[in-house]
Each structure stands twice: as C-alpha cells, then as structure tokens.
Amino acid sequence: MAPTATTVKVLESLRKRLADLREHARFQVVVSGVVGAAPPDETFEVIATAKAMGFRPRVLVVHGPDGQIRLSAEERKGYTRLQKMIGRHLFEFSRYRHQLVTTGEAPFKCRAGSRYLYVDEYGTVGWCSQTRQFFGKPLAEYTYGDLRRQFHTPKACHRQCTLGCVRSSSVFDAWRPQKKSPHRLETDAGISVQSKIA
C-alpha cells in the first residue's frame, strides 16, 4: 500500500507509529479509512487493522477540491460494507456521512463563518478551506455583526458537503431550532450572497 496522489498517510507508512501508540498512548486513538482515496480492499485493511489494535475505527469519504462528495457506485457500496464492519454503535453522532453516501445529499444549515471559523495562513476568515473563493475577511476586522451575518448566510454547497468539522458545528440546530433567516442578506461589498455563490 504505497502513498498516492490523493493521500500520503497510508497504512504501510504508519504501522510502526500505530504500534507505538498501542503500546504507549493514554488517550483514545481514532484511525480513519478514507473511501475513494485508495482501492476499497486497502480501506478494509485499514479498518481491520484499527480494530485489531484496539483503536476506534471510522470511515471518511474523499471529496473534490470544492468539498463535495466524489464517490463511484462501487465506492458507495464499499462505504456501506465498512460501516457494517465497524458497527452501528460507532457511527458518527450526526450520521450525515451515511445519509450523504446512501442518498446523494444530506442537507443541513451550514453555520460556517459563525460557529465555525476557518482562518488561513494570511489571517483571513473564510467559510472553510474549500470555499475561500466565495468569502473572506481579515480576522482583525471580524466583528460580532459578521458572526451573526454568516450564521444566517445560505451556502450553496451545503447539501453535498463532506466536511465533518463544519457539519459538527452545525448539528446543534437539530437540538435547538433557530429563528428563520432573513430572506435577503448583503455582504460587506453590497452583493447578495445568493448571487455571489450561484
């Protein structure tokens, strides 16, 4: 199992480190198999190895540069097999990946730019690493008003978003319903967000 153009962190290069973690770690270790980043058999081996070492296995899905799901029919079947292999009790708490893979979309209200802040190496706040072309503002100029505005801003990419960090910060909406968002929101440049990201 050699590194690929998609991922460098493959099982062969990590075996010794995993063995060291099994021997010395005093915290829970999570090992992820990424469907779509390698042939399905290799992903199965990652999950089997994680279980054998007593680690917590989980399954992620590869995405395109836009953060959207990119899986073939075969890879979707492989994902379902892997989740059965792991066990239902270890599903991610929001279960969005399962819905995303099996139905093609898993809608949610993206709160990026508010509950979740992505700050790049230049100190610019964006929605996430995959949407930097749509929104950006210097962190030093970011205000409470920006947090409120981005909380309500609709993101056109949300239905097929694979980014767990963004989704996990938005899952609270399922527990505590929010007020309806304004029909029209303006960016600092005065351009409607709906038009900007269409």
CB contact burial 23-40 (16+ within 10 A = b; e otherwise)? eeeeeeeebbbbbbbbeb
Last residue in a domain, options 50, 71, 103: 103
Q: In terms of DSSP H, where are the helices of 25-170?
A: 40-52, 73-86, 96-103, 144-152, 164-170
Name the residue range of residue 189's domain. Answer: 118-197
Which pLDDT value is given to residue 194?
40
Which pLDDT value is given to residue 186?
40
Amino acid at residue number 102: T
165, 169, 171, 93: which is closest to 130 by C-alpha?
165
- What is the total count of domains within the chain? 2
Is 113 part of a structural domain of the chain? Answer: no
Is 111 part of a structural domain of the chain? Answer: no
For residues 142 and 99, state if they share a domain: no
For residues 126 and 67, state if they share a domain: no
Is 6 part of a structural domain of the chain? Answer: no
Structure tokens at 27: 């915290």
Q: Would you write out the chain's pLDDT as a tens digit for each of its 198 residues?
A: 555 655 666 677 788 889 999 999 899 898 888 888 777 788 888 888 988 999 988 888 888 888 888 888 888 888 888 878 887 655 565 678 888 888 888 888 999 999 999 999 999 999 998 998 899 999 999 999 999 999 999 998 888 898 888 888 888 887 776 666 554 444 433 333 443 333
For residues 16 and 53, state if they share a domain: yes
For residues 33 and 72, state if they share a domain: yes
For residues 84 and 156, state if they share a domain: no
Last residue in a domain, options 103, 130, 153: 103
Judge contact between 155 and 131, C-beta under 8 A.
yes
Is 162 part of a structural domain of the chain? Answer: yes
Q: Is 95 left (phi over 0), alpha (psi -120 to 50) or beta?
A: left
Which pLDDT value is given to residue 184?
42
Report angle CA 81, 75, 39 to the nearest 5 degrees.
95
